[in-house]
Amino acid sequence: MSKVAIVQFKASTTKEQNLKKILDYIKKASKRGAQLCAFPEFMMFYTKPSQTPKELASLSETINGNFVKTISKAAKKHSIQVIGTFYEKSNKKNRVYDTSFLINKSGKVVSKYRKIHLYDALGFKESKKMVSGSKIVKPSRTALGMIGMLICYDLRFPEMSRSLALSGSEILVAPSAWVKGKNKEDHWITINKTRAIENGCYVVAPDQVGNIYCGRSIVVDPFGKILLDMKKRQGIGVVNISSEKIKKTRTVLPLLKNRRSDTYSKA
């Protein structure tokens, strides 16, 4: 049995202010016995609609920049794995990547994923300020199990979660900033539960709260049971992750094994 901590908070527009909060949450998660601390999307800072693509690009950093390096030092200091996100510089003018990273307890960045599906829907157009990644990143072996990484809007595309599950993922971690709106919280809960059930895996989805985001950070077990729903509160939630639960669920409900991929392309 392992423990995962998820953080739900309202990011301000100031990078330094958020970084201070992030470091404090890492310390608290470690004190509560968590092996992994997962943060929401856009934790670096909140981007107002009025912020220009050029302004956002000027505030972005590389994976070796101060933001990720400072978090890496905290992970090492407190001997805890961290999954977080940042605005990563790209080669395309006035565009950034929406990037998640996995840091091990020694403070080393062991995986990096650039969001593939940009949120160009329901009146939003992330592609005005961002450039999409081009590949799904293979899952990483961690103390909790094999972790597959995706970000927010990626959850709406079942092919991605299925691809990660077929590649060995036992836990899907999806840092998110789920925008409020009609039926949006229903979508959020339903999609997270569905991704867990159809793949027989845990889904860990820390979400932003406040500003334009709905909160409801959630952890779902492989059989679809909600283990944690943080509603609208800021702070940390800690839950147990069981590798035995994954094995048992995939044995009694062998959806990955029962797939008939030989027939799907013929429809």
pLDDT in tens, 27-79: 999 999 999 999 999 999 999 999 999 999 999 999 999 999 999 999 999 99
Q: What is the mean pLDDT of residues 16-22?
A: 98
Please check the confidence at residue 248 and state whether its pLDDT lies above 70. Answer: yes
Confidence of residue 110 (pLDDT cuts 50, 70, 90): very high
Report which of 69, 39, 67, 239 is spatially closest to residue 151, judged by C-alpha positions. Answer: 39
How far apart are alpha carbons 180 and 161 in whole angstroms?
A: 23
Determine the pLDDT at residue 145: 96
pLDDT computed for residue 119 by the predictor: 98
H-helix or E-strand containing 53? helix 53-59
Interhelix angle 15-31/66-77, rounded to 10 degrees, is: 20
pLDDT of amino acid 255: 97
* Domain parsing of the chain, residue ranges: 2-257
Q: What is the rounded CA–CA span in Å between residue 105 and residue 81?
A: 5
Question: What does the pLDDT read at residue 37?
Answer: 98
- pLDDT for the residue 265: 82
pLDDT value for 114: 98
Sheet holding 81-89, edge to edge: 109-114, 96-103, 81-89, 36-38, 2-8, 235-241
Residue 114's φ and ψ, nearest 5 degrees, are -100, 125
pLDDT over threshold 80, residue 11: yes
Instruction: Please calculate the CA angle 6-46-175 and round it to the nearest 5 degrees.
Output: 30
What residue spans of 98-240 are helical by DSSP H?
158-166, 184-199
Share of the chain above pLDDT 90, in %: 97
Residue 91 is predicted with a pLDDT of 96
**pTM score > 0.95 for this model?**
yes
Query: Would you state the pLDDT for residue 218?
Result: 98
Confidence of residue 173 (pLDDT cuts 50, 70, 90): very high
Judged on CB neighbours under 10 Å (0-12, 13-18, 19+), 156 is middle
**Nearest C-alpha neighbor of 83 from the set 58, 56, 110, 122:** 110
* pLDDT confidence tier of residue 113, bands split at 50, 70 and 90: very high
Residue 267 pLDDT level (bands cut at 50, 70, 90):
low
Q: Averaged over 107-133, what is the pLDDT?
A: 97
Q: How far apart are CA 49 and CA 97, in angstroms?
A: 17
The alpha carbon of residue 60 and the mean position of all alpha carbons in its chain are separated, in whole angstroms, by 19
Sheet of 171-173, strand order: 140-142, 145-149, 171-173, 202-205, 218-220, 226-229
* Per-residue pLDDT, 93: 96
Q: Fold for domain 2-257?
A: Nitrilase/N-carbamoyl-D-aminoacid amidohydrolase (3.60.110)
Measured between alpha carbons, how far is 159 from 157 in angstroms, rounded to an integer? 5
